[in-house]
Amino acid sequence: MGAIAGARKMRPQAVRGMSAEAKAKALATVLDPGESVAASLLVALHLGHRRAMLAAFLDALGMPHEDGLLKEDAPAAPPPSVEQVRSAAEGLVARFPMGDVEVYLNTLLVQDPDHWQSVSACEDLLVPQPSSRG
């Protein structure tokens, strides 16, 4: 809301009264929505039809979650190894659209680069490989 209010020179109350569609259109015109808005939009993107993918990835890593969201009250897990991430990512690539997998893994890396550093070692999974036809 703050990004829209600032860019459109509107009061926050006026932005709250806008329809979701109007807010989306207004936000799309904001050149620099800020890091927190960008992060929120990435989370919202994944919480829709991509929850099954999130849950599958976290299940493969053995990380506690509720419908694809990491449990807030769970003890902090150590960063997964490259082998764990590679295996989990291979499972995603086999079941879900490549573009969705790529956006999800990159989102993890951007949101918490220290915890998800092993994702960067699996970039080769996200690059389409030439088919081996004889």
Q: Where are the domains of the chain?
A: 2-33, 51-126
Rounded to whole angstroms, the Cα distance separating 44 from 28 reads 15
Residue with tokens 């329809």: 19
Left, alpha or beta for 34 (phi > 0: left; psi -120 to 50: alpha)? left
Q: What is the pLDDT of residues 20-76, one digit of tens each?
A: 777 667 766 766 666 666 666 666 665 667 889 999 999 999 988 887 777 777 677
Structure tokens at 116: 């998800």
Instruction: Quickly tell me which residue has 């979650």 as its tokens.
Output: 65
Q: What are phi and psi of 65, to 5 degrees?
A: -155, 165
| pLDDT tens figures, 85-113 | 999 999 999 999 998 898 889 888 888 88
Record the pTM.
Answer: 0.64
Report the DSSP beta bridge partners of residue 66: 69
